[in-house]
A = this chain, B = another copy of it.
Amino acid sequence: MFLVHEVGMRDGLQMEKQLVPFETKVKWIEKMIESKVDIIQLGSFVHKEKMPQMADSDELFNYFNKKKYNVVFSGLALNERGMERALACGVNLLCLGVSASETHSQKNTRMSVDEATERIINIAKESMKAGLEVQTSVQSALGCGFEGAIPEEKVLTIIKKYLDAGIRKVSLADTAGYGNPAQVERMVCAIKELDAELEIACHFHNTYGMGLVNYYAAMKRGAKVFESSTGGLGGCPFTKLAAGNVCTEDLINLLNQMGLRKDIDINVFIELAKEMAEFFQRELPGYVYKAGLMKK
């Protein structure tokens, strides 16, 4: 079964200058929970001043951990301090990552890929020891806006290190949206050859319109989790030209049309995309929320 990981409240909002009030976030997240989507990313544990939009992440986890929901809440941490905050507020799934591009890694962390990998693996091990589920990603895994092509071997080397550390969930992040479906099929197969049981997640950007085609390619080769954002809101502030997550309701529509994941309520995301478009006073990139559901 393919899983949908909604990341709009983190990767969607972090690009937005207009702050979303805590109460609005709560209302949006409550709707996402009602949709029965599998995983919801509530925020990231970065410095408040660096990213004011994420300042209430801990508070959101504390709020939603008061009740028991049938959903996994994920959060993103960039460093040891982030991990401590994640542990303190009861994150279910901690997302960590390094970039396979030296330039992107330096700009993002001021560390080489090797240094960043070692550091992230230590944080991952400590988090797992403390009882957290952990997913580690390889950013710029399919190309880099600064460097262009990234050798597949460089990505696989990082994943081998993740495997050696006992990590069982990895995410391929196409930060710059450079991936193409033939490449995605090769990459997912190569990872499956390293370890057929490893859970592969995909976090692809739609900068060049190839988000859904790359997700389909990854599905065909056995990737399991697909990260997307309501309305297609967002991107990554640290890379050149990154724009647009894959849109959640467009992804769910694709799955639904193939007879899959009809248990997730697409209407929730269609209404939410409209509400977010209204909130930010602009059209979002998603297609289905504008076209409406297909006639059955």
Contacts and interface: CB of A to CB of B under 8 A. Distances in A.
A243 interface: yes
Contacts of A175: none
User: What's the dominant secondary structure at chain A's contact region?
Assistant: loop
A210 B295 contact: no
A278 to B, nearest CB: 20
A148 B296 CA distance: 5
Given A216-B181, A216-B216, A217-B216, A209 B143 contact: no
A206 B247 CA distance: 14
B257 A180 contact: yes
A146 B295 contact: yes
Contact of A291 (B181, B243, B253): B243
Interface in A189-222: 206-210, 212-213, 215-217
B183 A257 contact: yes
A145 interface: yes
A296 B254 contact: no
Contact of A213 (B149, B183, B213): B213
Nearest to A213: B213
Given A217-B216, A241-B291, A258-B180, A208 B253 contact: yes
Interface string A246-290: 010010011001110000000000000000000000000011100
A208 B291 contact: yes
Contacts of A215: 213
Given A145-B295, A216-B217, A180 B254 contact: yes
A143 B258 CA distance: 13
A288 B291 CA distance: 22
Interface in A166-188: 176-178, 180-183
A206 B253 CA distance: 13
Q: Which of the listed residues A146, A209, A287 has the most CB atoms from chain B within 10 Å of its own CB? A: A209
